Structure 1
């Protein structure tokens, strides 16, 4: 029972404080846009992107044994198959330009959301800021 309680508390602590969650949620759209721009830059530099599909294949496999003899049967295996897919540079440049145009507004929204978080959780903000170093 104690282990379950400790695991639950660790899981809860991993989520962060309400102030940290609020900050993370406020900056979520901005950080996703920045991640997408990074991914676009990588795809443009490589000239391709990766696509993962799941494929089901039949496989001849050992199903068991009976009286020392192995029995075989067909089994389904579903596996991820990753392939290179060529990119459309014009489309990626267009999407990158769209994101670049949206970034200032997303940055302002994130800053406003984080300011709201500081207003909503002032005690946690004070606890997060270290006290000034004493001169001495």
Structure 2
């Protein structure tokens, strides 16, 4: 019997809501999905000639604060802003990274076929 969940949360919750076979398949494909995501990022970086990195910038905001005596006043509130910064990439290094990820993905695809068969054998759906 397939268990259904009434809430929508990230992958962890989805994995917890699936059948044992679905959870097994999700676990078996986790590294493959990560490598494919990294390959897509690397291909984008090669096409653009730069990568985007997040930079944290601390700062202050002026806000109304409540004083214990019951009145409001202006006060500084610490904040952190996130911005994206363009960073140049070395095309040869990015291509080597992409080649290594492609080789890793090829191995993982072969392993995934075996893991998928194992999941289906261990947890047949009925």
Deviation (angstroms), 1:70: 5.9
TM-score scaled by structure 1?
0.71
1:75 aligned to 54, 67, 77, which one? 77
Deviation (angstroms), 1:11: 4.1
For residues 29 and 71 of structure 1, the distance between their equivalents in structure 2, rounded to whole angstroms, comes to 52
Identify unmatched segments of 5+ residues in structure 2: none
* 2:104 aligned residue: 102
1:21 aligned to 20, 23, 26, which one? 23
Deviation (angstroms), 1:103: 2.4
RMSD (Å) for aligned C-alpha atoms: 2.5
Q: Which has the larger radius of gyration?
A: 1
TM-score scaled by structure 2?
0.76
SS of 1:10's equivalent in the other structure is coil
For residues 72 and 30 of structure 2, the distance between their equivalents in structure 1, rounded to whole angstroms, comes to 55
SS of 2:18's equivalent in the other structure is coil
Number of matched residues? 114
Instruction: Determine which structure has the larger helix proportion and give its number.
Output: 1
Deviation (angstroms), 1:64: 4.5
Identify unmatched segments of 5+ residues in structure 1: 1-7, 128-136
